[in-house]
A and B are shown apart, each in its own frame.
Chain A
Amino acid sequence: MADEEAAHKQHRASRAGASAAGSKLKKKKNDRGPSTKQSNPKAFTFRSAVRAKRQQAVSAERQQRKLHVPILDRATGEPPPFVIVVQGPPQVGKSLLVQCLVKHYTKHSLSNISGPITIIAGKHRRLQFIECANDLNAMIDAAKFADLVLLLIDGSYGFEMETFEFLNLLQVHGFPKVMGVLTHLDKFKDVKALRKTKKQLKSRFWTEIYDGAKLFYLSGLIHGKYSKREIHNLARFISVAKFRPLQWRTTHPYMIADRFEDVTAPEDVDANPKCDRNVTIYGYLRGTNLKKTMKVHIAGVGDCSMSAVTLLPDPCPLPSAAKKRGLREKEKLLYAPMADVGDMLYDKDAVYINISDHQLQFSKNCENAEKTQGKDGDVGETMVKSLQQSKYSIDEKLQQSFIQFFKSSAIQSASDSEADESDESGPEKDDAMATVSEDGRLRRRVMFPNEADEEGAAEGPEDVNNGDSSEDDITGEGNGDEERIVHGEGEGEEEGGEVEGEEGEEEQENEENEDVEMGNALQWKQGLMSRVGASKSNVNLMQVVYGHVEASSKDKDFQEDISDSDEELFKPKRQASKDTVAANAQNIDLEDCSRLTLEVDDWHNQEVIEAIRDRFVTGDWNKASQRQKGEVEEDGTVYGDFEDLETGEQHGAAENHEAAERRLKKLALRAAFDAKYDGSLDEENKEVEGPKEKDYFDKLKEDMELQKQRNAAELQDIDAATRIEMEGFSVGTYLRVEFRGMPYELVHHFDARHPILVGGISKSEESAGFMQVRLKKHRWHKKVLKNRDPLVVSAGWRRYQTLPVYSLEDRNGRHRMLKYTPEHMHCIASFWGPLAPPNTGIVTFQNLSNSQPLFRITGTGVVLEWDQSVQIVKKLKLVGYPYKIYKKTAFIRDMFTSELEVARFEGASVRTVSGIRGQIKKAVKAGSGKEGSVRCTFEDKILMSDIVFLRTWTKVDIPRFFSPVTTLLQSRDTVWKGMKTVAELRSEQNVSVPVNKNSLYRPTERQPRRFNPLQIPKALQAALPFKSKPKLSAKRKKPVLESARAVVLEPNERKVVSLVQQLTTIQNDKAKKRKLEQRKKKEAYTAQKAKEEEESKKRRREEIRERHRSQAVPGRPLNKKPRRNV
């Protein structure tokens, strides 16, 4: 030890350079602290009250900003696997990342990634990896179901459009957790450039998500894989990630199909390959509970109703809750039916094990070797071998086998010996049936139950027909320990799957607690008596209300037994079933009245009064509280219809209400406490600040927790079948959903790489209506959106094309139509479509094709309101011309066409072009003028040349059109074609934009207005003063003297003049020549310039064309990848 210590080198702080300067500065700062302030900083925290107040305000503000309205997560039990979507532009390494992660978790190398891959990542965590295809439709769907997004970015290239499109989609559909992953970093040779790029990309990533968002760097490939260490780190972060509940998803159930089967009868398909198909979809239920009657939307197909929903055992269950660290190798399961890994397939009534052909070779030839090996061999292997040795088929065995009804009766059969044989080899499965499917692959059908393993008592292959439940249950109950009945899982419609499973377990328990169950016949009856007493009345009431209620099979069996065996023991006083029949036969036109006429007892009778004395505060409070507890013995007096058989023990179930409430509160508090100390940082901060008094937020959360506990408490003692009936299938269960009559294209074009999203929709979202959406054109979309141009909208689970009408709300609440969306402002878009509830995010596209270089998202928004009608108006100007003018009254024609129209506008204000205001009075009587002429009054006399107009508003109709985007019904590489925009149609048909000539601006041509000369009457003229009199003097006819006389020059002067003239002529001529020359030069220059310009233009066009060609062609060579740079 001492040596080791001595070996350590002392740290030597650098004395020069940047780090030394930095440390010095830091030191200085530290030094300054205590020296400038007091030596005891705690004693004098604040010296300025203003500053203290400000600080307090700032911290309070920060705290409040952190708060969000808590969302109640009603899910109980095991959560479904978290969905991890791996998304990125093409060729960025998505598949490789999934492969590496799966390899990291399960030690399993996947060759192809198609469909969801479920793995067990920890004791309490399951993950489902889904690779998002490079298709806008797939991206939209992925954004709706992702819990965590691994956003892959090509570091050597930078961000691409797909990344930002996907981020925008995520933001609109509830923002799940996002982690960035930078790949292709090995392409950087220069470390400095690498560091700089990392920094740049990180800062951009942070602005897009939040400061401090996690960004991983995968430095490069080692043997074609990412570095193990880096993948390990990434996996660590995935496994501790917390997922926030999202509003939409906590209110809607949804499933991601991890298996998809076509179950149409093959003969139908043979007869008509395009017949409607029946398909089944398997997957974990997420979001919230799913009810059987619910309608669902299959993204890319449309709304459909489920014809059957079945609960299946979890194909990838979490390991048992034994106390140990980490996972055992065996528990690291992988389930990916679409990727053809994982050998187990779970179906409604069977489990299949897939064995690929090349693994089948060893069975026969190494038989002897196996025997010598003894028990060391693999268990599964030996089981398979033993099965292969069996000579008889299942049917033959069935014929030979016997069923043993009672423990005491010992029946030996061939099957028993066989079972013993297999027992020795320790099989995992009870029974297996090998069938070779048409394609030659061996499919081996396993009859359930898989819980029976621990017992080790495997049984012979008797397959009791499960159709008649009474028989098989009798056998099940009468069974001893040697024999057991094999049940298919959830075989009958009348029996829920897990009920059966429960029973299977019960049978195992039989051996332990025989006295509780049926040891001998007498006990059996006794036990039954009390149980039936409790359950019967319950069932009866349910039956009265709901008719043949789906009670648990147990109850039903008991009832059957009752009727069979000894009727005198169980004599129901009230015949329940008759009521339902009677109710149906009742008068269907019964009066609709909520009041019930009670048969009134004689309340003058003292005894009768005493019976309810304790229901009043004047009575005995003790007895009253006992009544609440249900301890009072009130045989016959209260409710004559009940059996006397029931005594205290059943009533004990009705627990003291207050105590129950207290217990619930305690549970809720504990849960809240657990949630608080889950190691989250901000909670710790709170703790530092010291204990706070409960504020509104805390109370809200506590109430929610209390409600959750209450739900759990109420539901736990209800049997499973009823529970499913009440609350639906619970979250986290594995379901098989069957759909009937689906279009054949769904099967024909099925591609596992595009996961199928099945989302439940509530009753009110099923119908279509008008929606008002607050919409904003996306900043990055180059053009504004045109009114009534088709737009693909993604809202809720759905994608559909619709025709929006844009509008803005005026200050007086009027919605005024807009021709185009504003550039940088929100506007209201109203459209017809399947309804999405208010506050749902919406994202719009114009074109879903993948070959556009531009940003494809055109706008984002949020649903404000639903309605069945929308008031959007646009301006309307009615124009009329006066045909008769009195002083201030004028008759206007051509403004209206009928008297009826006029009647609508009586009293409306009109205006002339010159600005004279007026009012519409009344229509002109028919016959006296043109039809629809109207009398108006104005504030001044108008001219005949005036135009009168009436400004008003007219309602705009919103087209009732929407069409679902059915991308799953076509092959994945074709572009979905919907309604075309007007511009597309015009360019296609080569039609120019129609121009109304009258709407064009022309140069105004005004005739010069000629006025008549002013005429002044003679009398007036005479009266005017001279100043104002018109001066009317006649025009002079002879020229004046100056202009008439000739000018004669002197000879000298003439010489000068002629000289000057000559000089000027010469100069003018020179200037003219120069000008000509200049013009010539300029012409040559411009010609040259134009030529050059033409050439460069040509070159540029070629370049652009080249680029587009390389980006747009779908069938491009693989090594060339299109880039859509940002």
Chain B
Amino acid sequence: MKGAQHFRQRLVLSTLSNTALRIDDIRADSEAPGLCDFEASLLRLVEKISNGCGIEINETGTKLRYKPGILAGGRNLVHDCGTGRGIGYFLEPLIILGLFGKKPLSITLRGITNDSRDPCVDTFRTATLPMLKHFGVPIEGLELKVVARGAPPLGGGEVVLKVPIVPKSLTAATWVDEGMVKRIRGVSYSTRVSPHMANRMVDAARGVLNRLLPDVYIFTDHYTGSESGKSPGYGISLVAETTTGCILSSECVAMHSGASELQLPEDLGTQAAMSLLQEIRLGGVVDSTHQGLLFILCALCPEDVSKVRVGKLSSYGIKMLQHIKEFLGVQFSIKPDPATGTVLLTCVGSGFQNLYRKVS
């Protein structure tokens, strides 16, 4: 394989399918060649939760050889994610790997909690974790706690993730009914800025959403002192819950527009609300961000048919489908549903089981 693209997918699928991985030409042509620090950090994290894995990187970092070990899990682990990418970058693979470990995983991650590139921890807590219960993951041990908020560029946030192990395997899901949006919830946070910012974002978002639904409630979450990280920042994360238990999410984080100033909170609120409406319009049981996770969960099911509906296939999702076929040998049957403009995906699971668990 070549290039740094979709590094996490490859790493996760290689680990799960227990196939060795070799990536060449990682940013070979770029002025900063080789693996980035966040990728190295991810490799270190994978090494931390697995036993007997082998990682070989050449001098320039443009070649990687990875031999997966067994997933051990473990308690009270700590990992510093750095400031290259948000914690969401690490949470996405971790949540899948954690499910199939020898022991339940509980890990403290430090870094940037909210980032514009990766799903923020609030979205994870409110949208991603509930998604797993459709696939028979025991919901009790599944938890994500935000201890401290860390905004870019310096981070300083801290979250605690707890993932239970699946006892044997996931259960196949037929999850095609999108339902109707019954309520919209959200979190608007602010750290090291005036607490008023959060309220301004909420007002703006409500202004858009209330035209469609009265049941909109957005929490404000202000951090001060030691919990507030090292940089100022604010943002908003919205989730729409439907009558059938589907959860669609959208989020917006303040970025430095131009030279120094952060974006206006009103703009953020509106933008988040609009992208949420866009997600709702596209349809599907999950939003575009979670497509990859949805597909991989389907593919990891026992040899039963899973059927899911998504809006528009994202490029990340498409790449995930390709990687799933490559590593797990699972091919999806993809049918567009022209009436709703959605896509129906059907697959027979790979029969994946948690084989690392100890039996007594």
Interface residues of A (CB under 8 A from B): 74, 251, 288-289, 291-294, 537-538, 541-542, 544-546, 583, 586-596, 598, 600-601, 603-604, 609, 611-619, 621, 624, 627-628, 630-632, 634, 638-639, 642, 646, 650-651, 654, 657, 707, 710-711, 714-715, 718, 722, 725-727, 762-764, 766-767, 769, 835, 837-839, 863-869
Q: Which of B29, B119, B174 has the most CB of A within 10 A?
A: B174
Asked if B181 and A865 sit within 8 Å, CB to CB, the answer is no
Q: Indicate if B172 sits at the interface (CB-CB under 8 A).
A: yes
Contact A657-B176, Cβ < 8 Å, known A612-B280, A714-B346, A868-B69: yes
CB-CB < 8 A to A587: which residues of B? Answer: 3, 5
Q: A711-B304, A727-B303 in contact; A630/B359 too (CB < 8 A)?
A: no
**Which of A251, A614, A628 sits near B351, CB closer than 8 Å?**
A251
Q: How far is the CB of A76 from chain B (nearest CB, A)?
A: 12
Residues of A within 8 A of B347 (CB): 726
Alpha-carbon gap, A616 to B248, bound state (A): 13
A583 CA to B318 CA, complexed, in Å? 10
The interface residues of chain B lying within 8 Å CB-to-CB of A711 are 304-305, 348
B residues less than 8 Å from A868 (CB atoms): 51-52, 69-70
Q: Cβ of B263: which chain A residues have Cβ within 8 Å of it?
A: none
Query: Is B17 part of the binding interface, using a Cβ–Cβ cutoff of 8 Å?
Result: yes
* Bound complex: CA A482 to CA B181 (Å): 61
Q: Which residues of chain B from 303 to 354 have any CB-CB distance to chain A below 8 Å in the complex?
A: 303-305, 307, 313-316, 318, 321-322, 325, 328-341, 343-344, 346-348, 350-351, 353
CB of B19 within 8 A of chain A? Answer: yes
Contact of B333 with A542 in the complex, beta carbons under 8 Å? yes
**What is the chain B residue whose CB lies nearest that of A620?**
B180
Known: A615-B178, A618-B213. 14 other contacts (CB 8 A): A251-B351, A589-B3, A593-B118, A600-B275, A609-B277, A615-B280, A617-B182, A621-B180, A651-B338, A715-B305, A762-B351, A766-B18, A866-B355, A867-B51
Which chain A residues lie closer than 8 Å to B303 at the CB level? 74, 288-289, 727
Q: Closest chain B residue to A637 by CB distance?
A: B341
| Contact status B180-A615, CB under 8 Å | yes
Nearest CB on A from B173, distance (A): 10
Alpha-carbon distance A263/B206, docked complex (angstroms):
72
* In contact, B181 and A616 (Cβ under 8 angstroms): yes
B132 within 8 A of A: no
- Chain A nearest Cβ from B93, distance in angstroms: 10
Q: Are A864 and B358 in contact (CB under 8 A)?
A: yes
Residue from A288, A587, A628, A634 with most neighbouring chain B CB atoms (10 Å): A628
Contact A865 B180 (CB under 8 A): no
Q: Are the CB atoms of A538 and B4 closer together than 8 Å?
A: no
- Closest chain-A Cβ to B318's Cβ sits at a distance in Å of 5
| Chain A contacts for B273, CB-based, 8 A | 603
- Indicate which residue in B102, B318, B338 contacts A545 across the interface (CB closer than 8 Å): B318
B 122-143 to A, binary, CB cutoff 8 A, 1 in contact else 0: 0000000000000000000000
Which of the residues A588, A612, A624 comes within 8 Å of B4, measured between beta carbons?
A588
CB distance from B358 to the nearest CB of A (A): 4
**Chain A residues with CB below 8 A from B283, complex form:** 615
CB-nearest residue of chain B to A603: B274
Cβ of B307 and Cβ of A612 under 8 Å apart?
Answer: no
Beyond A546-B331, A603-B273, A603-B277, whether A866 also contacts B339 by CB under 8 A is no
In angstroms, Cα B339 to Cα A651, docked, is 7
**Docked complex Cα distance between A592 and B90 (Å):** 11
B243 engages A617 (CB within 8 Å)? yes
Contacts of A638 in B (CB 8 A): 339-341
Assembly CA distance A617 to B7 (angstroms) = 40
A629 to chain B, nearest CB (A): 8
- Chain A nearest CB, measured from B288 CB (Å): 4
B17 & A600 in contact (Cβ 8 Å cutoff): no
A710 pairs with B305, CB closer than 8 A? yes
Residues of B within 8 A of A611 (CB): 281
**Inter-chain contact B289/A603, CB cutoff 8 Å:** no
Nearest-CB residue, chain B, relative to A74: B303
Q: Would A646 and B338 count as touching, CB distance under 8 A? A: yes
A592 touches B357 (CB 8 A): no
Which residue of chain A is the closest to B348 with respect to CB atoms?
A727
Interchain CB contact under 8 A, B338 and A839: no
In the complex, A864→B356 CA distance in Å? 10
A588 close to B25 (CB less than 8 A) = yes
> In the complex the two chains form, is A612's CB within 8 Å of B18's CB?
no
Whether A545 touches B334, Cβ cut-off 8 Å, given contacts A616-B181, A764-B18, A866-B70, is yes
Contacts of B212 in A (CB 8 A): 609, 612-613, 616, 618
Asked whether B26 is an interface residue with its Cβ less than 8 Å from the other chain, the reply is yes
Are A74 and B341 CB-contacts (below 8 A) given A763-B19, A868-B51?
A: no
Assess whether B271 is interfacial by the CB under 8 Å rule.
yes
Measured in the bound complex, the distance between the Cα atoms of B159 and A634 in whole Å is: 45
Our pick among A288, A293, A598, A863 for the contact of B288 (Cβ within 8 Å) is: A598
Contact A865 B176 (CB under 8 A): no
Flag if B355 contacts A612 (CB, 8 Å): no
Which 9 pairs between the two chains have the least Cβ-Cβ distance?
A: A868-B52, A588-B3, A639-B341, A630-B339, A590-B5, A638-B341, A596-B288, A727-B348, A714-B305
Residue from A594, A707, A769 with most neighbouring chain B CB atoms (10 Å): A594
**Complex contacts, B277 vs chain A, CB 8 Å:** 603, 609, 612
Establish whether residues B360 and A864, one from each chain, have CB atoms under 8 Å apart when the complex forms: yes
List, sorted by A's number, 24 A–B pairs whose CB atoms are closer than 8 Å.
A544-B313, A545-B321, A545-B332, A546-B325, A591-B5, A592-B5, A593-B316, A594-B314, A594-B316, A598-B278, A604-B208, A613-B212, A621-B180, A630-B337, A630-B339, A639-B338, A654-B339, A707-B172, A710-B305, A762-B351, A763-B18, A769-B70, A838-B357, A865-B358
A603–B322 CB distance below 8 A = no
> Closest residue to A621 on the B side, CB-wise?
B180
Contact B281 A615 (CB under 8 A): yes
A766 to B336, CA, bound (A): 37
- Which of B174, B181, B313, B339 is the one whose CB lies under 8 Å from A615? B181
Q: By the criterion CB–CB under 8 Å, are A722 and B333 in contact?
A: yes
- Asked if B321 contacts A546 (CB within 8 A), the reply is yes
> When the two chains form their complex, are residues A537 and B336 in contact, meaning their CB atoms are under 8 A apart?
yes
Cβ-defined contact, B289 with A594, below 8 A:
yes
Inter-subunit contact A537/B329 (CB<8 Å): no
> Which residues of the partner chain A approach B351 to less than 8 Å between Cβ atoms?
251, 288, 762
Whole-angstrom distance between the Cβ of B237 and the nearest chain A Cβ: 12
- Complex CA–CA separation, A291 to B328 (angstroms): 10
Which of chain B's residues has its CB closest to A868's CB? B52
Interface check B177, CB cutoff 8 A: yes
B1-57 interface (Cβ within 8 A of A) = 2-9, 17-19, 25-27, 29-30, 51-52
